[in-house]
Amino acid sequence: MNENPDCIFCRIVAGEIPSFKLLEDDRVLSFMDINPANEGHCLVIPKAHAPNLFESDDGSLAAAAAACRRVADAVRRTLDPPGISLMQANGPAAGQSVFHFHFHVIPRRADDDLLFNWEPRPGDLDAIGRLAERIRASLRQEPAPQKTMRLE
């Protein structure tokens, strides 16, 4: 398993930094966020270090997504919140502050004032259609080799 000795999440996985563990297996770890957006905010991380979604392997991503469902269900049964958000950010502009791929599981209330909701507004359907074609073309291409990506 690749580790980064400068990564706080790798150090939590290694047991060098204490955490409030919720779920752990050979591929993933889930623990409470100690800077919670709301009560019950937890994190789910692959144990293998990857700085972001683009550099994570498919197996780690699948294991983390499955763990998210289990943790979110446990949070729902424990706190009975009106909603739960799963959040995953890549790069500082998206709000990523720890550069180890991870998901946030955040219980939500209608009045919690968290800012990652937006008001739906109709888009330009022609422009959306053109962009969809460009993205579909990218999907048909071979994926680029994995490399370190600088997200800003």
Domain residue limits, the chain? 8-111
Number of residues written out for the chain: 152
pLDDT at 133: 82
At 127 the pLDDT is 81
114-146 tens-digit pLDDT: 877 566 678 878 888 787 788 888 878 866 655
Residue 122's pLDDT is what?
A: 84
pLDDT at position 148 over 60: no
DSSP letters spanning 59-103:
HHHHHHHHHHHHHHHHHHHHH--SEEEEE---SGGGT--S-S--E
pLDDT recorded at residue 151: 55
Surface-to-core class of residue 147, CB atoms within 10 Å of its CB (0-12 exposed, 13-18 middle, 19+ buried): exposed
For residues 40 and 33, what is the distance between their CA atoms, to the nearest angstrom?
8
Are 50 and 56 contacting, i.e. CB atoms less than 8 angstroms apart? yes
Annotated catalytic residue 49: no
Bridge partners, residue 106, by sequence: 85
pLDDT, tens only, 71-80: 999 999 999 9
- Are 6 and 42 contacting, i.e. CB atoms less than 8 angstroms apart? no
Q: CA 111, 114, 119 angle in degrees (round to 5)?
A: 85
- Identify the pLDDT of residue 20: 95
Catalytic position from the list 41, 49, 102, 104: 102
Asked: is 8-111 a CATH 3.30.428.10 domain? The reply is yes
Q: Which tens digits make up the pLDDT trace of 47-103?
A: 999 999 999 999 999 999 999 999 999 999 999 999 999 999 999 999 899 999 999
